[in-house]
Structure 1
């Protein structure tokens, strides 16, 4: 049935789509996309720039995602390295007693058996250990979900590397560089003033009075070498409960003629000092240096327990002793 057709002049205009009415111009869409992309890239860049990848003194690759602000140290070497590099800790092992300000920090047990529970209670975002004596702790500590790095001070190079490592993580490169330069300068000055041709032995004893001598790879052996002293036990072989030491028998003592004998007594007073006991031990009491009273007790903290940035202190103290005998 024919209907009435509307004339072309009066035909209804097609409605604009809702999308067409509200869509932004293409140029605005592109601009918004660029802004969002730029912001995203800036965020990723900022996040990645705060992350640090390092290799510690156990040759482990460690990723630090954020700058740490709650650091726990589990060894005097770790504690002193952190503070000399310009950092601070929120917890420490009981043997860490330098610098003085760490004495106010909560403790997490000894360096030999730290408490993982106490470490966790401090909510650390970084744990620093000592490489030679605490490597076995790494797996347990990492179960806390915390990055762990190891430092070491078996040599002057180790001290410098450890300071550089920690400084990279806490962003204190200038402080660490200054510390490294000062340590090197002090050791160089001491070495220039050391006597030539002076032979030594450095002894330590266990609870059964077995005597051990410091080799070249021990910390006190390293300190002596920096002064050019002739360590008669430098290449000595044998087992010992002390890192870098080897057993030294009475028979060896009878055949040794060092100019000076140094002793280290780890046990605190009132335990007798090894320097007092040597004149009563067969073989050792016959050594010329012992007979002449040229036996000097060394500070066990400086020469054994707190290996690290105070290496220059140990070098200067040893030099002072040798030059004044």
Structure 2
């Protein structure tokens, strides 16, 4: 009788182990199917031929691969009608999420509303929209971006110019991000009593930047440092300095890194000294990542702020790595 009980107990234990294993396999299989759901996500770029947005796309594509996402990329080309059409099309196609940089904080909202009404998750990156439709934002603090540039310039003036300089600012006050950058920049520069702002003008784009720089230089022959608030414009200002033959006298500090800026930093004769910048590839990555997390029901911060970066003429190895990485995109 005792032998029979032991045998029965062994059989019972084996049966329980088999059942447990089956249950675990079933649970793991179900979990795997859920985790491996292939979400359909659309990414909308403002300008697909611009290096900044090419890096955004690289980040989106890397996140799509890492998170097993079907990613579709569209280009609004700074056209509100095209942006609206893309949002409506992706919503009708049953996309799970749309990741976008809105062209206008107000005018872009109606199309976003229509997407939200169809239960499409919308992640805004780079640009903000009206609060009533903006659930999630991935980007940078533009005030801090400007402040970072200001601190770099002040440190240079203190170290190389005995704390005194005549400064020309090429701003971007026609856009809210430009205003934020200018305020941040001034928050640092105004701490330095030896720096005098002798000129401040708006510009946007290389040609405009070059023209404005030449005008400012002509009107302020004692100016010896300059700053510009956005990419593209920065290289125009640099060319304006060079066209006047003043690359030895006027030192330049910029905002927004690109390959052209990298090459300027690597050139010892170029007046470009340092650039305060964001990381568009990381912004693209974290935008898609946030979309996946929202779709999976995870708790996601309504505002995800991506870290800033700095490239300087002194750190040629870091600059060279950047140039090699992005030269062929």
Q: Do the two structures share a fold, i.e. TM-score over 0.5?
A: no
Question: What is the TM-score normalised by the length of structure 1?
Answer: 0.39
- 1 or 2 for the larger relative contact order (CA 8 Å, sep ≥6)? 2
User: By percentage of residues, which structure has more strand?
Assistant: 2
> Which structure has the larger Rg over C-alpha atoms?
1
User: By percentage of residues, which structure has more helix?
Assistant: 2
Question: What is the TM-score normalised by the length of structure 2?
Answer: 0.38
